Amino acid sequence: MADAAAPAGGSGTRGGFRGGFGGRGRGRGRGRGRGRGRGRGKEDEKSKQWVPVTKLGRLVKDGMIKSLEEIYLFSLPIKEFGIIDDLIGSSLKDEVLKIMPVQKQTRAGQRTRFKAFVAVGDSNGHVGLGVKCSKEVATAIRGAITLAKLSIIPIRRGYWGNKIGKPHTVPCKVHGKCGSVHVRLIPAPRGTGIVSAPVPKKLLSMAGLEDCYTSARGQTATLGNFAKATFNAISKTYSYLTPDLWRDQPLTKAPYQEYTDHLEKNHTSGGVQKQEVKKY
Amino acid sequence: MTEFVLIGVPDSEMKQNHASWSTNKIGGFPDWMSIVTKQPSCSRCSKAQRFVLQVYCPLENSKYHRTLYVFCCTQKQCWSDSSGWNVYRDQMLEKVEADQPIVKESTEGESWGLGDDDWGDGGSPSPTNGDFPVVEQTCEPKQTQDEKPLESIVTSLSTQLTYNPRYIDVFNESDLISPLDGDKHIKDLISKYETSASQSKGDELFAGCSVATETYEENEQKVKNRAFHKFHKKISLLPHQCIRYNYGGYPLLLSDCDVTMSIPPCSSCGKSLTFEFQLLPGLLPTLYIDGEDPVEFGTILVYTCSHNCWGNRDSPQTGGHVVYCPDPDLKFFKSQKFNEKIKNSGV
């Protein structure tokens, strides 16, 4: 059978088939009529499908949650990258920012591992950054892609001047810091393009920003800190309260105020001796 | 005892709701060894429970055939708590001469039947024995021991809804290799990076400019949810897995809550319970009945008596304990606005 030489696409080789539970040497040959002969091709297809582990994953797979924004609205933690793949996977592009060898001194010489920085984004308001270190380059890149998908964040875009057309730049001046690197993003007029070093340029273009001025300070040669500082800066766009978000909301009473009558009636603090106030 | 871990995966659907007590299956009706007259009922609401799965798992150095049956209540308040789940153990002394054509005890633990196992019926052979005929039987194979379906139970249970019956495939966890998918895509990324790096710098590819300043970075998600990260890593070896069998070992938990503290002793003999197997989220797609809210869990742990107490019984033992572990992020789903939104989108 071609099972031992199964293509790399099949997950979890079926070579370890055992047949039954129980102690070693027992419980074999008891699961009957398994029909492994049929649908061998079906098995490989099925194995590529994503099986959700968390409740959020199940909801996404069943189609109850249709967009990533609904997950962000309720601050639900995303723990499986299958969720992202399902929702926006088709428009997601990934790019390797840098692969660098990282060395550690051991008694037997130097141990080299590879660190991969990967940015993913759909050029329409979602971007993620992943960092992974591993002994092989391919493993590092694969792990970094997974981590980047898990760290996807929404970005708010705005206008530099007239509010004509679609938003094209950051809504206001934002800054982010990581390590010693401090990155500042400034709104730019339409048609400017992204004015920055190559690393943040890739991140910003994947985020969907068309125009932006940047200013960086610190040891920007440490690529990890530089990329993370930019990432922090663009994730702050949604936490900045701009005047157009000043919406008049009806004032509601605080619970203690609302139920003050009820509290007074039922929960008076008894047993407190009131000091007699002397009246002169 | 803890060296080997077995993984169960849902397999093809069964054509009839009944099989034998030695079949590992999900759904359908339970195949008891002894005569069972009382339908298991929930300890919270006293309604009849629904059969989830049965696992044939004889212990090493034991002369008994042993099967575990898991039941769960149909009400949401019950199945979302440990008290709505029940596990029963049924045992029968092995009759050696009757087993001869079916089981030959093999002394080497790692060889999986190089021709010495006659599995009666079966699909295509495993890769090590290529000379097995591909036979598919649709009728019940001949049983030398008494395994006829129990007529009286069938009629009483036939009015209930059950899950669609399926077989379970079993694998050794140590034989699973992690999947290597998307290799082509990664090769493309590497080549793209190579070309862009050589264009910009013109020197060798992986030139680390400041090697000393970059250090190993801990994955932030891993640090925050270490238990979930480990769980997910093990499950992703074979994502469809539904049972993880590890008699006497430790369960794979979804979050860092300490489960082992609350396990009561065996209700029949008073000795402690030991972990036997756990149900995984891969089981949930198979536990589906039209028109009902599907069962949900993070993982379900099944503990059974460490001394396997039995005595001279003729009805299934109830001494096991089931622990229900919910999804670790369940508190986020409790907000009313969210649930309304889900209901609207579902409709």
Query: Which member of A9, A24, A38 has the closest CB to residue B60?
Result: A24
Q: What is the maximum alpha-carbon separation in chain B?
A: 82
Yes or no, beta carbons of B206 and A37 under 8 Å apart: no
Q: Give A-chain residues touching B103 at CB under 8 angstroms.
A: 26, 28-30
**Is the pLDDT confidence value at B340 over 70?**
yes
Establish if B217 touches chain A: CB-CB under 8 angstroms: yes
**pLDDT at residue A128 tops 90:** yes
CB < 8 Å to B112, chain A: 16-19, 28
CATH number of the domain residue A112 falls in: 3.30.160.20
Answer yes or no: do A145 and A197 share one domain.
no
User: What pLDDT is attached to residue B6?
Assistant: 87
Greater confidence (B134 vs A207) lies with: A207
Which stretch of A56-60, A95-99, B270-274 has the lowest confidence by average pLDDT?
B270-274
- pLDDT at B330 (0 to 100): 79
Residue A69 has a CB neighbour count (10 Å cut-off) of: 12
Which residue of A20, A32, A131 is in closest CB contact with B217? A131
Across A37-41, A187-191, B305-309, B317-321, which has the greatest mean pLDDT? Answer: A187-191
- In sequence order, the 6+-apart residues with CB closer than 8 A to the CB of B267 are B318, B319
**According to the model, what pLDDT value does residue A190 have?**
94
Higher pLDDT, A12 or A127: A127
Residue A270 placed within a domain: no
In a domain, A59, yes or no: yes
Q: Does B132 touch chain A (CB under 8 A)?
A: no
Answer yes or no: is A130 within a domain. yes
% of chain A with per-residue pLDDT over 90: 50
Res A192: pLDDT: 94
Identify whether residues A75 and A124 lie together within a single domain.
Answer: yes
- A56 assigned to some structural domain: yes
Q: Do A147 and B221 touch (CB under 8 A)?
A: yes
Judgement on whether residues A236 and A184 belong to the same structural domain of the protein: yes
Q: Are B163 and B30 in contact (CB under 8 A)?
A: no
Residue A208's CATH number: 3.30.230.10
**Assembly ipTM:** 0.73
**In whole angstroms, what is the distance from residue A119 CA to residue A121 CA?**
7
- Asked whether residue A98 falls in the same domain as residue A178, the answer is no
In this structure, the answer to whether residues A141 and A198 fall within a common structural domain is no
In whole angstroms, give the CA distance from residue B65 to residue B7: 20
Domain contains A166: no
Task: Indicate the number of domains in chain A.
Answer: 2
In chain A, what percentage of residues exceed pLDDT 70? 77
- pLDDT at position B108 over 90: no
Residues A124 and A181 both lie in one domain:
no
Q: Residue A84: give the domain boundaries.
A: 52-154
pLDDT category at B100 given cuts 50, 70, 90 is very low
| Chain B residues closer than 8 Å to A231 by CB | none
**Domain boundary residue among A121, A154, A187?**
A154
State which residue of chain A sits closest to B229, comparing Cα positions.
A79
Is the same domain home to A110 and A191?
no
Give this prediction's pTM: 0.75
Portion of chain B with pLDDT greater than 70, in percent: 69
Q: Are residues A179 and A146 in the same domain?
A: no
Tokens of B54: 């049965």
SS3 B88: strand
A34 belongs to a structural domain: no
Name the residue facing B182 among A63, A101, A142 (closest C-beta).
A142
Claim to verify: residue A190 and residue A100 sit in the same structural domain? no
Of A122, A154, A186, the residue at which a domain comes to its end is A154
Q: Are residues A134 and A72 in the same domain?
A: yes
Residue A68 sits in the same domain as residue A135: yes
Query: How does the average pLDDT of chain B come out, rounded?
Result: 73
Domain membership flag for residue A8: no
Buried b (16+ CB within 10 A) or exposed e, B159-180: eeebbebbbbbbbbbebbeebe
Residue A269 lies in a domain: no
Q: What was the pLDDT predicted at A132?
A: 92
3 state SS of B154: helix
Say whether both A218 and A188 belong to one domain: yes
Of B6, B175, B228, the CB nearest to A21: B6
Domain boundary among A125, A154, A183: A154
Q: Which chain A residues contact residue B25 at CB under 8 A?
A: 31
How far apart are alpha carbons B48 and B33 in whole angstroms?
Answer: 20
